[in-house]
Amino acid sequence: MLSIFFNNVKFLTMKKLNILTLFTIALVCSGTLFSQDVKMLEKSIGNTTDFKKSYFSTGYEGMIFSSSIFERPGKASHLSTLRFTMFFHVGTMYNYTFNKSVGIMSGLSIKNIGFIDKYQELDSTVKRRIYSLNLPVALKLGKMDSKQFFFIGAEGSLALNYKEKGYVKRNHKTKFNEWFSDRTPLIMPNVFLGYQRKSLYLKLSYYPMNFLNPDFVDKNNVKPYEGYKVNLFAVTIGTNVVSRMFNKKAH
């Protein structure tokens, strides 16, 4: 698996290498910028209570139900078939609490997101998905001390691996996957909002960019996704468990 990964990386275009470099720099700098933003927000919000904590948490986006607002040649805009996945979604978050009502969180995660395209006239199904490396940032509002809060934020997702499966009458199957594929955008931003109670949360995400690249040209000089418009949205039921806590006494 690793040898396949590194062989494919060699063939990345210069444009994608530049984007990857920028994304890596963003990851490296995110900790410093996040710390600076925390200090600025703390001054503006104020911390007048004795409750002041920062902690790391381990997250598992256990169940992801995804669909899309989907349009392609010969098919008007509609909601695509519901897709369900439980694997492989893990991450870690750094949480900072300003007071009993306001907090912020950011971190890194990996997840599997995609959609299902059905061709009724051919009795066939095509499933498309990516594994992505994600950098979320969110504001938390609620009861920080009892871990009951709403959260709203945005996320940058780096598409690592693209996979496409095709079924014709559920007996003839084709599939392939590509690392850092040109079939999708390399970076896929999304916005999200949700509610967490204790360690369990519910989250709604929306991807405003087209999931597929309509300008992609395959080896046969064909644009297989020309005219495709795919905007993903997902409902996630997951857990976010405190893994390490830092206590600070307010002065």
Residue with tokens 């046969």: 220
Its pTM stands at: 0.80
Distance CA 169, CA 150 (A): 44
Distance CA 114, CA 106 (A): 23
- The distance of Cα 85 from the centroid of its chain, to the nearest Å, equals 14
Q: Quick one: pLDDT at residue 19?
A: 56
Q: Quick one: pLDDT at residue 16?
A: 54
Which residues 6+ apart lie within 8 Å of 227 measured at CB?
A: 71, 72, 73, 214
Domains in the chain, ordered, with CATH?
Answer: 2-246 (2.40.160.20)
Mean pLDDT by 10 residues, the chain (251 residues): 45 51 52 49 47 82 95 93 93 93 96 93 88 97 93 98 87 90 97 96 98 96 97 96 71 43
